[in-house]
Every structure is written in structure tokens, then in C-alpha cells.
């Protein structure tokens, strides 16, 4: 069986029964759920726990769901049996705003697997991270995870259907805010991680010479007011620059590949971003390419490495989803994953080696 996906647009409690009824004999060892914020998250998490008592479960609210197609107003899930997952455990990192302490969550994971994190095999263990998308703590969390372990964590920031009021993550039948869920999987055949974004460098760069990192705000680029400097490299008057934020984000270049930082809005002469830019950081100004063609190439390259893909979890930036809807290319994009059990959600930011925007991070199961 390996992996199956399911989704439902029914209300509770029928939605959970609907999901369970769609499974064709699969007994999940692990399951990950993605739900519209229109659902009662506390009730949903309890009902999922009751419906799948033998599975390790994690989930979050979304800005859109994915289950073979791009959805809204639904609950979707991916179910992995013991042919993919040998073992799984989840732990909650609470009170992100008060400071991130991974001591207890990692102790729980180490206790479950009966091995210290130093003994976890990077070829077999992989982590999922679901984080409150309104916490502003994603960068700090990913830095802490990188300091705590060599295991890769991939995931996304929970959404709330663009209401920007409250996002939730859940595990163990309980829903949480200002928190993150870490799910650690020990896999039978290994995995691949894929990062897809649809931008290239224009060859022009900006250096953040003054930044309020906590507020994700750049005050100056190249020793000039941030909006003025950004507009200058695009050959625009500053008043027109915000109209280019979507198509010309910035990228932290790593081995020629951009890790995207998307401008959210102008704040006077400063620019507020959807993720943190550190003072002194050099970024390239990017230009948009073809989202479907780029994702197709990235997926085919990973297939060449992974061979058969038995399942896939996608964490796709809501800005990519909005672009696909605007371009009326959702079906064309969905077709890229035909034949692969795929589930995921539209995020408020993506996690992999840090926090980024306008990207899809994906976990592929061999």
C-alpha cells in the first residue's frame, strides 16, 4: 500500500469519517493532516486522534489544501504505512514567543526512538516541522533545529485562509498556537528533499545596511532608504516599486540558487518582508520564470535520483498558489504530480535549511 491521500469538504464529524472511509485497507503508521481554518481545530484534532489511534499524527491549519489537487475549505491528509515508515514520533515546541527551548521535545523524540540524536542515521531519519505561521519565530526555530541536530527538517508555516488572525498546529489530539510540531520519521527506503522556486537572478544585488531583524524590516539597502534603493535597481520611481514586489523578490544566493525573501509591503521608506533579512546580508534582485516548467524540471531531477516516488508531501507558499490561480494554471501544475500520492498545503512560509517564501519544499518518500 505504501501511501494514500484523501480529502473531504464535509463538516465535522463527517469529514474525519469520510477520510477514514477512503483508505483502501491501509493501516497508517504516520499521518499528516492539513485543514482549512474554517474547521474547529480543537475538535478536528481530537477526532483525528480517535479515528487513527495507532498512527503518529501531526497537522496544521492552512491557506489552502493539497490532495492530488489544489483545494480550499477542506481537510486533507497523507497516510503512510509501515512499508514506508518504520517508526514515527511527534513532539510539540510550545511558547515560541517566550524563547525556543528544544530540550524537552528532543528528549521526547530520543526517548521514543531509544537513541540519542547523535545516533540518528541521516539517511533514514527525516523531520517534518509545522509552525505557527503568525508567530514570527520561524527563523529562530530553524536555526535552533540546525544547531540541535544534523537531521534534515522540512515543512511549512501554518495558515488561516489569509485571515491573519490565528493559526494552529496539532499533535496527540491537541491543538496549539504559538507552537511548532516536530514529527520525526524513521524510513525504510530513505527519502529525497526537493526545493522548487521560479526565479532567477537579474545580476543586480542589494546589501541590507540597516535592518530591524525582529520586525523583518529593512530600513536601508546600500546605505540608501530601502524602497529607494530597491526601486533604483529596477529603474522605477519609488512609488511604483511595491507593484513589483511579487515578481521581483530578493534572493539569498547559495551556490547559484536563490533562497527567496519576499517583500510584503512598504512602510514609509522601509520595506517589510515575509521573512527575516539580517543586517549585512547581500541579496540578489530576482525576476520571475515559469512556475510549471521550473517545477517539472526539479521534480524530474529528483525522480532521477530517488527512482520510484511512493509518496510526497508538499509545502507550497500561498504566493505560488495565488500565482497559479491568477494564471489559471492550477490543473497544469497538479498534473505534474499525477501517479504520485501527494498531499500538503499552502503555507505562510516554507522551511528547509531556514525560512523562505515563494517556494515549494517537498519531502519525497522512496
Contact in structure between 29 and 88 (CB atoms under 8 Å): yes
pTM value is 0.95
Boundary (domain end) residue, out of 230, 257, 288: 288
| Number of structural domains in the chain | 2
Q: H or E stretch including 204? A: strand 199-212
Say whether pLDDT at 325 is over 90.
yes
Check whether residue 259 and residue 205 sit in a common domain.
yes
Check whether residue 156 and residue 219 sit in a common domain.
no
Report the pLDDT value the prediction gives residue 304, as an integer from 0 to 100: 72
Per residue in 98-149, pLDDT (tens digit) is: 999 999 999 999 999 999 999 999 999 999 999 999 999 999 999 999 999 9
Check whether residue 278 and residue 167 sit in a common domain.
no
Centre a 10 Å sphere on the Cβ of residue 213 and count the other Cβ atoms it contains. Answer: 14
Per residue in 284-317, pLDDT (tens digit) is: 999 999 999 999 999 998 877 767 899 999 999 9
Check whether residue 138 and residue 13 sit in a common domain.
yes
Report the pLDDT value the prediction gives residue 308, as an integer from 0 to 100: 84
* Distance, CA of 278 to CA of 283 (rounded, Å): 10
Boundary (domain end) residue, out of 261, 288, 315: 288
Check whether residue 187 and residue 203 sit in a common domain.
no
The parent domain of residue 252 ranges over 199-288
Over pLDDT 70: what percentage of the chain?
Answer: 99
Q: How many helices (H) and strands (E) does the chain have?
A: 8, 26
Check whether residue 169 and residue 82 sit in a common domain.
yes
Report the pLDDT value the prediction gives residue 306, as an integer from 0 to 100: 66
Three-class SS of 30-87: EEEEEECCCCCHHHHHHHHHHHCCCCEEEEEECCCEEECCEECCCEEEEEECCCCEEE
Report the pLDDT value the prediction gives residue 1, as an integer from 0 to 100: 63
Per residue in 23-58, pLDDT (tens digit) is: 988 999 999 999 999 999 999 999 999 999 999 999
Residue by residue, DSSP assigns 332-343 as: HHHGGGTTS-EE
Check whether residue 101 and residue 26 sit in a common domain.
yes
Check whether residue 23 and residue 166 sit in a common domain.
yes
Amino acid at each position: 500500500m505504501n501511501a494514500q491521500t484523501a480529502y473531504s469538504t464535509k463538516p465535522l464529524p463527517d469529514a474525519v469519517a469520510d477520510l477514514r472511509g477512503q483508505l483502501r485497507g491501509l493501516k497508517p503508521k504516520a499521518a499528516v493532516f492539513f485543514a482549512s481554518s474554517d474547521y474547529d481545530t480543537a475538535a478536528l484534532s481530537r477526532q483525528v486522534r480517535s479515528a487513527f489511534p495507532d498512527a503518529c499524527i501531526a497537522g496544521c491549519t492552512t491557506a489552502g489544501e493539497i490532495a492530488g489537487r489544489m483545494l480550499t475549505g477542506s481537510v486533507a491528509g497523507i497516510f503512510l504505512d509501515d512499508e514506508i515508515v518504520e517508526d514515527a514520533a511527534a513532539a510539540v515546541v510550545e511558547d515560541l514567543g517566550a524563547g525556543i527551548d528544544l530540550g524537552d521535545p528532543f528528549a521526547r523524540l530520543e526517548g521514543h526512538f531509544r537513541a540519542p540524536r547523535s545516533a540518528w542515521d541521516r539517511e533514514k531519519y527525516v523531520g517534518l516541522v509545522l509552525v505557527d505561521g503568525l508567530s514570527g519565530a520561524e527563523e529562530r526555530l530553524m536555526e535552533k533545529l540546525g544547531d540541535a541536530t544534523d537531521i534534515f527538517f522540512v515543512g511549512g508555516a501554518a495558515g488561516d485562509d489569509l485571515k491573519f488572525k490565528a493559526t494552529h498546529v496539532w499533535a496527540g489530539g491537541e491543538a496549539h498556537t504559538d507552537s511548532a510540531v516536530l514529527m520525526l520519521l524513521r524510513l525504510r527506503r530513505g527519502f529525497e528533499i526537493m526545493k522548487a522556486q521560479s526565479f532567477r537572478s537579474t545580476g543586480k544585488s542589494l546589501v541590507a545596511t540597516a535592518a530591524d531583524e525582529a520586525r523583518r524590516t529593512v530600513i536601508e539597502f546600500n546605505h540608501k532608504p530601502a524602497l529607494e534603493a530597491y526601486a533604483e535597481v529596477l529603474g522605477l520611481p519609488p512609488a511604483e516599486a511595491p507593484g513589483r514586489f511579487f515578481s521581483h523578490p530578493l534572493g539569498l544566493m547559495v551556490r547559484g540558487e536563490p533562497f527567496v525573501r519576499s517583500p510584503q509591503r512598504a512602510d514609509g521608506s522601509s520595506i517589510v518582508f515575509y521573512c527575516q533579512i539580517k543586517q549585512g546580508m547581500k541579496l540578489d534582485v530576482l525576476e520571475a520564470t515559469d512556475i510549471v516548467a521550473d517545477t517539472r524540471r526539479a521534480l524530474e531531477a529528483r525522480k532521477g535520483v530517488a527512482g520510484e516516488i511512493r509518496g510526497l508531501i508538499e509545502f507550497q507558499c500561498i504566493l505560488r498558489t495565488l500565482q497559479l490561480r491568477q494564471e489559471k494554471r492550477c490543473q497544469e501544475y497538479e498534473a505534474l504530480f499525477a501517479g504520485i500520492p501527494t498531499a500538503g498545503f499552502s503555507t505562510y512560509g516554507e522551511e528547509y535549511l531556514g525560512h523562505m517564501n515563494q517556494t515549494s519544499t517537498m519531502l519525497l518518500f522512496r
